[in-house]
Amino acid sequence: MCNVKELNTEEIKELRYKGYEFLILQGCGGSLNEWVDGITNLFKEQKIVPLSFSFNEIYSFKNGNLINLAFSLKSNDVDMSKLAIFKLKMRESFGAMWLSDYIDNGYIKDIQI
């Protein structure tokens, strides 16, 4: 299991310079490990990733009253076309979006771009 590392909003901003994208899920209450397990299982069920897949990087951060998760999409094992469809389906329920959209569209108010 991948450990979830807590970051502040300034550190989240820095993730955009890593050279790969992250999937953001907003409003992740309760056990973050349960969220990680659930998303990993959904990715496997939807054949977005192979059954042997696990995330290498997962970050949590608080923005306003919400605890959010950022899942690294660096792996070559991710089927990006299936992931894009998954993200669209999860947008309304979990506020799913790419980190670049999250930052560029001003979801983090104290980040100066």
User: pLDDT tens digits for 36-62?
Assistant: 999 999 999 999 999 999 998 999 999
Q: What is the pLDDT of residue 90?
A: 85
Range of the domain at 59: 4-97
The model carries a pTM of 0.86
Dihedral of CA atoms 35, 113, 86, 47 in degrees, nearest 10, equals -80
What pLDDT, on the 0 to 100 scale, is given for residue 112? 43
pLDDT of amino acid 40 = 95
What is the domain count for the chain? 1
Mean model confidence pLDDT for the chain: 87
Instruction: Output the pLDDT for position 102.
Output: 84
What are 22's two structure tokens?
């992250």
Kindly state whether residue 110 falls inside one of the protein's structural domains. no
CB 108 within 8 A of CB 12: yes
pLDDT score for 111: 43
Residues of the chain with pLDDT under 50: 111-113
Does residue 70 lie in a domain region? yes
